[in-house]
Structure 1
Amino acid sequence: MSDLDIRATMKALLADHGVSGHEHGIAARFTEALAPFTTDIRIDKIGNLIARIEGEGEGPRPSVLLAAHMDEIGLMVTKIERGGFLRMTNIGGVDPRTQVAQEVLVHTRSGDYVGIIGSKPPHLTTPEERGKAAPLTDLFIDLGMPEQMVRDKVRVGDTVTIRREPLELQYDRIAAKSLDNRASVAAVLECLAELQRLRCGVDVYAVGTVQEERGRIGAGPAAFGVKPDIAIAIDVTFGDYAGAPDDANFPLDGGPTILFGPNAHQKITKSLAETADSLNMPYEYEFIQGDSSTDTHLLQVQHEGIATGLLSIPIRYMHTSVETVCYRDIERTGKLLAHFIAGIDRAYVEGLSCYLNA
């Protein structure tokens, strides 16, 4: 593996918040992490972070875009009620079952304020309510402040994130919020560190996309602007857990998954698998018959079409505050990307226009 300290990198990326549409904090952190690799970094008009790492040799060189979304799911304040309690709605796929009794941070123009998510005590629930998860509309945030102070400091539209420190588990696992998709951002950094040890005649665009969790908004404009020869999305997929269906989970520490399906170019899928085999790296195919529900689809349909692939990192308990991933899977994903990119030349890119003998 590269010299990148994956544990320190992961924890640094987890330290900043970035609810969809409000990714400026994590974008600044990603920019700092990219400093050893390039100074050619820009933010486009929608908020995507685009970093260009020049390849060796004379141009024009083949180009590869690596897309890892920076944003996370979260909440938004919709109302300040009598007593200073805050009502909220979801931004992205928030599961109300996981929100009760959570500690939160309300992000305001005057700073972050700690609060808790409250709900009706079980003693006061009706027979119909008992045993059922409370909908988000029945939950509220308590900041512990007097009502007027809340009204002075909080505005409707302020974002809210879960307050939780990363937890190191046994066997190189980490549990935290927003590992979807900070784990993939870390994998991109691992890729760039590994590429420094390899000869590479490819221009790499490391892109932190925005608003994936609320409709995959950022990937399309990023790819349209860069117009790469190849685009690889890096995201997370469903890890194994107790009672999981056999066809919808992948083991932690079993390596990344490689998308197999119409949302990925056949030759890129094949090349990623062959590269993993050459590295004696474990991996699994993830078979998806249509849209992969990742940035991959938006990357694929830009301009006249872009040859795409998708690598996913298995993660347990997705869209909770205890998402769990194995560090080794992050490192493997980055290494696989680097060695795949190092093997690209102009002939390979020109061959992507033909599916025959893929």
Structure 2
Amino acid sequence: MDVKQVLKEMIENPSVSGFESSMANRIEAYLKDITDNIKRDKLGNLIAYKKGTAKNPIKIMLAAHMDEIGLMVKDIDKNGFIKVTNIGGVDQRTLLAQEVIIHGKKDLFGVIATKAPHLQTPEERKSAVAIEDLLIDIGLTKEEAEQFISIGDPITINRQMIPLLGDTIAGKALDDKAGIAAMIECFRELKKINHQCDVFGVATVQEEVGTRGAIVSTFGISPHIGIAVDVGFGKTPELSKDDTLELGKGPGITLGANIHPKIHKRFKEIAKEYNIPFQIELSPGNSGTDAQSMQITQSGVATGVLSIPLRYMHTSVETINLQDIKNTGRLLAYFIASLDDEDLEGFLCF
């Protein structure tokens, strides 16, 4: 199955933070034939393991989060309208007029509604509707709705993958299902490559609400090196080139306080050696990825971040280039293979 089909299936499979089990099942199906062992921990992280050839191998952990932002049922009013709250960093300005799916006892379709502009005051038309004032109309009475919906049920935007021109696609939750796809590409490449490292590929949970999955999975694995595979802000006309990554020009190799400089340097060397396009992403403080939790787990982990360029983050039309995902997977695989016969202490010393 190619990367485009994998992404299509993952986009259409809901995985709001705290409700990732169905997504984990799908990812396991992609990885079972290209890894040696797959397990889940108590928080729900999916951990795929591929053994290296060394007697005392370096342990490297790849982390890409499988959760997505979404909404949650907060109340059902007397007329059957659904009130909501957010899970993760939802921008309520993007929600009006969206089609949604409420994942209750059965999936129910609805639309996010507000007063028609003709009935709004001039002041109301000037400001965004607060999330507590949004309502979902499912077309049922309160009594009918309560047969299928409970307080706390997750809600996702009803959006399928949209093929654009060239190798570009759009859809929801590409943050960070694009990272999951890159990790799958990495394991596919590793099937063809001799590598001495033991590789742990973790589809983490609850990144969007505090990188919780990365905290517990890193503690359990205790890796020597941890690499977060996530998305970075894609360039659009109104954004500075210095703060963004361009689609189609390869992954961003992150540099900053959350990153071990030797890992950053090695990624650049490997990219040049194998003619893999790349960009430099600056992250002076917290990278905002699973790497922030990996780095400070137990006595500390040497971390790196690869960022796949993505436009319109945390909207239902996140946009990405498929070649960037493939190149991210290749770069990860060749980086892992380059650690053969390494003196780990020498490699990681500052």
Instruction: Settle same-fold status: TM greater than 0.5.
Output: yes
Letter in 1 for 2:103: H
Match for residue 28 of structure 1?
Answer: 25
Give the structure-1-normalised TM-score: 0.95
Aligned residue identity for 1:257: G
Match of 2:342, SS state, is helix
SS at match of 1:128: helix
Asked whether the 8 Å contact 1:61–1:346 carries over to 2, the reply is no
Q: Which residue of 1 aligns with 2:100?
A: 104
The code of the aligned residue for 2:192 comes to: R
CA contact (8 A) 1:62 1:346 kept: no
Alignment of 1:279-298 (within 5 A): 279-298=274-293
What is the rounded CA distance, in whole Å, between the counterparts of 2:205 and 2:289 in structure 1? 12
The residue aligned with 1:40 is 37
Displacement, 1:160?
Answer: 0.2
Residue of structure 2 equivalent to 1:209: 204
Identify the range of structure 1 (73-82 vs 142-151) with the bigger mean alpha-carbon deviation: 142-151
CA RMSD of aligned residues (A): 1.1
1: distance between equivalents of 2:126 and 2:316? 22
Answer yes or no: is 1:113 the counterpart of 2:108.
yes
* Structure 2 runs not aligned, ≥5 long: none
2:84 matched residue in structure 1: 88
Matches of 1:56 and 1:198, distance apart in 2: 11
1:39 deviates by: 4.9
**Aligned partners of 1:353 and 1:267: how far apart in 2?**
6
Paired position in structure 2 for 1:220:
215
Note the 1:223-234 alignment, pairs <5 A: 223-234=218-229
- Equivalent position of 2:2 in the other structure: 5
Alpha-carbon shift at residue 353 of structure 1 (Å): 4.3
- Residue 207 of structure 1 aligns to a residue whose secondary structure is strand
Kept in 2: contact 1:307–1:352 (CA 8 A)? no
CA distance in 2, matches of 1:210, 1:157: 18
| 1:189 corresponds to 2:189 | no
Match among 49, 52, 56 for residue 53 of structure 2: 56
In 2, Cα distance between the equivalents of 1:300 and 1:247? 25
Separation in structure 1 between the aligned mates of residue 89 and residue 247 of structure 2, nearest angstrom: 23
Instruction: Work out whether 1:198 is the aligned partner of 2:209.
Output: no
Q: Note the alpha carbon deviations across 1:131-177, whole angstroms, 9 max, x for none.
A: 32211111111111222110121111000000011110001101000
1:170-222 per-residue CA deviation (whole Å, 9 max, x = no partner) reads: 01101000000000000000000011111111111010111110111110110
2:195–2:340: 8 Å Cα contact kept in structure 1? no
Name which of structure 1's ranges 5-14 and 186-195 shifts more when overlaid on structure 2: 5-14
Q: Distance in 2 between matches of 1:137 and 1:40?
A: 44
Please say which of residues 130-139 and 44-53 is displaced more in the overlay.
130-139
Structure 2: which amino acid aligns with 1:123?
A: H
Structure 1 gap segments, 5+ residues each:
none
CA contact (8 A) 1:103 1:162 kept: yes
- Shift in Å, 1:60: 2.1
Q: Which runs of 4+ in 1 moved over 6 A?
A: none
| Distance of 1:215 and 1:148 partners within structure 2 | 36
CA distance in 1, matches of 2:220, 2:341: 21
Supply the distance in 2 between the matched residues of 1:149 and 1:242 (Cα, whole angstroms): 47
Tell me how far apart the structure 2 counterparts of residues 27 and 271 of structure 1 sit (CA, whole Å): 31
Q: 2:152 aligns with which of 151, 157, 182?
A: 157
Aligned equivalents of 1:291 and 1:37: distance in 2?
Answer: 33
Q: 1:248 to 1:137 in 2, by over 3 A?
A: same
Identity %: 45
Query: Displacement of 1:12 after TM fit?
Result: 2.0
Q: Give how far 1:349 is off.
A: 1.8
Equivalence for 1:344: 339
Q: Does 1:270 align with 2:270?
A: no
Output the CA distance in 1 between the equivalents of 2:346 and 2:43.
33
How big is the shift at 1:38?
2.5
Take 2:189 and 2:224, find their aligned partners in 1: how far apart are those partners? 21
TM-fit CA distance, 1:47: 1.1
Opposite residue 22 of structure 1, the aligned amino acid is F
* Aligned counterparts of 1:347 and 1:165: Cα–Cα separation in 2: 44
Give yes or no for contact 2:36–2:51 (8 Å, CA) kept in 1.
Answer: no
Q: Which amino acid aligns with 1:5?
A: D
Q: Output the CA distance in 2 between the equivalents of 1:353 and 1:329.
A: 27
Asked if 1:17 is matched to 2:32, the reply is no
Give the letter for the 2:307 counterpart: S
Q: Partners of 1:25 and 1:349 in 2: how far apart? A: 37
Separation in 2 of the partners of 1:197 and 1:221? 31
Q: 1:145 & 1:248 partners in 2: Cα distance? A: 46
**Secondary structure, aligned partner of 2:123:** coil
